[in-house]
Amino acid sequence: METLEIVLAEHPCLKGLHPKYLKTILHCASDTKFEAEQMVFQEGDPANSFFLIRQGRVGLEVYVPNKGIITIETVGPGELLGWSWLIPPYKCHFNARAYEPTKAIILDGGYLREKCLDDHELGYELYSCFIDLIIERLHSTCMQFIDCYRA
C-alpha cells in the first residue's frame, strides 16, 4: 500500500531530501481532492498551503481587463501548486481551478515557514525546490501576457 510518506519521498521535488526533513514535511501533509471546476484558491486569498498534484489537472488563471480569464499554466501529476506561502505577504497571486477531478497532497505552509526559521538547512532545501517553480510561473505569465496583448 502506498503511504503518504512514500508518496512524499518519491515526489520529484522532494526526492533525495534528508529523511529528517521528510518527517517534518509529513507532519503537515494530508490527502485532499477537488472536483472538476472547483476553485483550489483565488487571487488575494491567504497563502498558507501548497499542493503536490497526484492525479488530475489544475489551471492557474488570472483575470486580464478586456480579455477575461486566461490560463497561465496547467499543473498536473508530479508537479507543485502554490509558492506564495514562501513570500510575504503570503497572498495567492493567481486563481487555481481544478479542470478535472484532482487528487493532491496539501501541505501546511505556515507550519513549514516556522520550521524553516528554526532550521535554515530545511529552508534552503525547500527554497531550492521552489525557486525553479517561481521562475517558471513568472516566465509563463510573461508569455501569456505577450500573447494576450499582441492580438
Q: Which residue has the higher pLDDT, 144 or 25?
A: 25
Query: Quick one: cell of 23?
Result: 518527517
Query: Whose grid coordinates read 510575504?
Result: 88
Work out the number of other CB atoms within 10 angstroms of the CB of residue 82. 27
- Domains in the chain: boundaries: 4-110+118-150
pLDDT-wise least confident of 33-42, 58-67, 92-101: 58-67
Contact yes or no for 60/71 (Cβ under 8 A)? yes
Return the pLDDT at 145: 66
pTM of this prediction exceeds 0.85: yes
DSSP conformation class of 83: -
The string of pLDDT tens digits covering residues 72-99 is 889 999 999 998 999 899 999 889 999 9
Does the pLDDT at position 151 exceed 90? Answer: no
Residues of the chain above pLDDT 90, percent: 60
Order the strands of the 49-55 sheet from edge to edge: 29-34, 102-108, 49-55, 80-81
Question: Can you tell me the mean pLDDT for 48-56?
Answer: 95
CATH class of domain segment(s) 4-110+118-150: mainly beta
